C-alpha cells in the first residue's frame, strides 16, 4: 500500500504531500490552485560521480566508464516508435533533462493537459531502448559535445580547479566523460546501469502547479511498475583532505581573463543541508558588495560586477567557489585569504550578517510561491535526505557564530586553489 503524509512548514504554513508509492517511488506534490503552469521532474539519484556500485546480491562492486549517466539520459529520449520530444510537442509542453554530478532528472512544463504530459514522462523514462546502432550514433554526438565544452572557458576554469582540488573523487571528471571513456559504453552497460539506478526505489517524482493530488496519484497507480528494492550501494575512492596543487593557468581566446578561487572543505553527509546553508551565508558575507574588501578590489579595478561566490557540494565533495573576471587574480586570492584571516580574528559584524540572512530567508520564502522553483526544492531536498521546508527552518536558526565557525575551520589557506583562464 502507498503511504501518504502532509509536510507543513512550521514557519510559513505552506504544505506539500509526500507519498511513498507502492511501486517504491517517492512522490512529492504541491497543489497550487490559481497558477497557470505545471512543472514536473522525474529523477533518479544517479549522476556522473556514481561510477562504482553494487546491489545487495552482488559479491563485487562494478565500476563503469565515466560519462555513462549522461549518456543514458540522452538515450532515454529515443524509443522504438518515435522521439519523446515529438510526443511532448503534440501537447504543447516543453520538455528537457539534465545530468548533474549526483542526479539525473527528466522534466516538463505545461499550461494544459498536464495529465497527458505526466503519462508521457512516466512512460518513456520506464522504457529504455538501446541498440548497438543507436549507441554508436550517440557516441559521435556526445563526442562532439565533449569537444565543445572543452573549448568553453567557464567549463575549463571549473574542471581545471576541480582537478587541482580532488585527488581521487570522480567529481573532477567532466559530467559527459571523455571521448575515451564513452567509447567503452555499449548497450549492455547501459541496460545494467539503467536496471541498477532507475529502480523506482532510487527515484523521485516532484510535481507542482495547478494540479490535483488525486489525479496525479491515479496516474501513478496506472503507470508505475512495482520495483523490488535491491539494496543499491554506491562508493567513492578515499579522498584526502589536502589539495593536489594550489594553482593552474591556461590561455584561451577570451574577452577577459576569468578565475575560480575554490576552497576544499570537508563533506558532511549527516548534516549536509545545515553545512551547505551555513557555507552559503559565510560566502555571501565574504563577498558582500558593501564590504571593505569588495569595494577596495572594485575601486582598484581588480574585480568587476561579475565577482561572486557559491557553494559547490554533493555526494562526497564540498567546496566553496569565488569567481569572476580579473586581470590580476593573484591579488584577488591574496585579498580573500587576508579577509578570511581578519574575520577569523576579529569576528563577524552581526548587523551585516543579519541583513544577508534576512535576504537569503526572503529568497527561500519567495521560492515557495514559484511553481518551477518549489518543484526543484522538493526533489533536491528529498534526494539530500531532507524535507522541502527544512531549508527555511535551518536558515532561520543559523547565527553569526555558525558562519564564523565555518570561515575559521573550513576556509583554510592551504586548501585554496586558484584556476585561471588567461586572455591570449
> How many Å apart are CA 114 and CA 31, to the nearest integer?
13
Question: Which letter does DSSP use for residue 225 in this model?
Answer: P
Residue 106, H or E segment: strand 104-110
Question: For residue 308, how many other CB atoms are within 10 A of its CB?
Answer: 14
> How many Å apart are CA 383 and CA 102, to the nearest integer?
9
- Options 60, 73, 250, 327, the catalytic residue: 73
Strand ordering across the sheet containing 26-31: 3-8, 15-20, 26-31, 203-209, 38-44, 104-110, 94-99
H helix runs in 262-347, sequence order: 272-286, 292-299, 329-346
Question: Which letter does DSSP use for residue 415 in this model?
Answer: G
- DSSP letters along 162-209, please? HHHH-SS-GGGS-TT--HHHHTT--HHHHHHHHHHH-SGGGEEEEEEE
Contact 193, 47 (CB under 8 A): no
- Residue 73 annotated in active site: yes
Question: For residue 362, how many other CB atoms are within 10 A of its CB?
Answer: 10
> How many Å apart are CA 159 and CA 214, to the nearest integer?
44
Q: Tell which residue, 53, 63, 71, 52, has the closest CA to residue 128.
A: 71
- Give the cell for residue 370: 514559484
> How many Å apart are CA 277 and CA 282, to the nearest integer?
8
- Give the cell for residue 345: 580574528
Q: Tell which residue, 71, 50, 80, has the closest CA to residue 139.
A: 71
> How many Å apart are CA 219 and CA 221, to the nearest integer?
5
Contact 339, 288 (CB under 8 A): no
Contact 248, 160 (CB under 8 A): yes
| Biggest CA pair distance of the chain | 66
Alpha carbon 257 to chain centroid, angstroms: 26
Q: Please identify every residue annotated as catalytic.
A: 73
Amino acid at each position: 500500500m502507498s503511504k501518504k503524509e502532509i509536510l507543513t512548514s512550521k514557519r510559513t504554513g505552506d504544505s506539500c504531500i509526500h507519498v511513498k508509492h507502492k511501486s517504491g517511488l517517492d512522490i512529492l506534490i504541491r497543489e497550487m490552485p490559481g497558477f497557470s503552469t505545471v512543472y514536473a521532474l522525474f529523477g533518479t539519484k544517479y549522476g556522473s560521480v556514481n561510477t562504482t556500485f553494487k546491489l545487495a546480491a552482488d559479491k563485487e562492486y562494478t565500476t563503469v566508464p565515466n560519462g555513462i549517466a549522461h549518456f543514458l539520459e540522452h538515450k532515454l529520449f529515443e524509443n522504438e516508435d518515435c522521439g519523446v520530444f515529438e510526443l511532448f510537442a503534440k501537447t504543447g509542453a516543453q520538455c528537457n533533462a539534465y545530468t548533474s554530478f549526483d542526479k539525473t532528472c527528466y522534466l516538463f512544463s505545461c499550461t494544459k493537459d498536464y495529465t497527458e504530459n505526466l503519462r508521457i514522462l512516466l512512460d518513456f523514462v520506464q522504457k529504455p531502448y538501446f541498440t548497438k546502432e543507436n549507441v554508436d550514433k550517440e557516441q559521435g554526438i556526445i563526442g562532439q559535445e565533449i569537444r565543445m565544452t572543452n573549448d568553453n572557458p567557464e567549463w575549463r576554469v571549473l574542471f581545471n580547479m576541480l582537478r587541482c582540488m580532488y585527488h581521487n573523487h570522480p567529481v573532477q571528471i567532466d559530467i559527459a566523460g571523455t571521448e575515451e571513456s564513452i567509447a567503452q559504453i555499449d548497450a549492455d552497460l547501459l541496460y545494467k546501469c539503467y536496471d541498477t539506478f532507475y529502480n523506482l526505489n532510487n527515484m523521485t517524482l516532484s510535481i507542482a502547479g495547478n494540479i490535483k493530488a488525486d489525479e496525479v496519484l491515479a496516474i501513478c497507480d496506472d503507470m508505475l511498475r512495482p520495483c523490488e528494492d535491491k539494496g543499491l550501494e554506491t562508493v567513492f575512492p578515499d579522498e584526502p583532505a589536502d589539495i593536489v596543487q594550489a594553482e593552474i593557468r591556461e590561455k584561451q581566446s577570451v574577452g577577459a581573463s576569468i578565475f575560480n578561487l575554490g576552497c576544499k572543505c570537508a563533506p558532511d553527509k549527516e548534516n549536509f543541508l545545515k553545512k551547505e546553508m551555513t557555507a552559503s551565508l559565510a560566502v555571501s558575507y565574504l563577498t558582500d558588495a558593501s564590504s571593505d574588501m569588495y569595494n577596495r578590489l572594485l575601486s582598484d579595478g581588480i574585480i568587476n560586477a561579475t565577482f561572486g561566490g557559491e557553494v559547490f557540494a554533493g555526494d562526497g565533495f564540498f567546496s566553496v567557489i569565488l569567481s569572476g573576471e580579473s586581470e590580476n587574480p593573484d591579488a584577488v586570492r591574496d585579498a580573500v585569504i587576508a579577509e578570511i584571516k581578519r574575520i577569523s580574528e576579529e569576528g563577524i559584524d552581526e548587523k551585516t550578517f543579519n541583513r544577508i540572512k534576512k535576504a537569503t530567508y526572503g529568497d527561500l520564502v519567495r521560492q515557495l510561491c514559484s511553481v518551477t522553483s518549489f518543484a526543484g526544492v522538493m526533489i533536491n531536498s528529498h534526494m539530500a535526505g531532507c524535507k522541502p521546508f527544512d531549508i527555511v527552518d535551518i536558515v532561520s536558526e543559523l547565527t553569526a557564530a555558525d558562519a564564523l565557525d565555518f570561515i575559521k575551520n573550513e576556509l583554510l589557506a592551504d586548501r585554496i586553489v586558484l584556476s585561471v583562464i588567461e586572455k591570449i
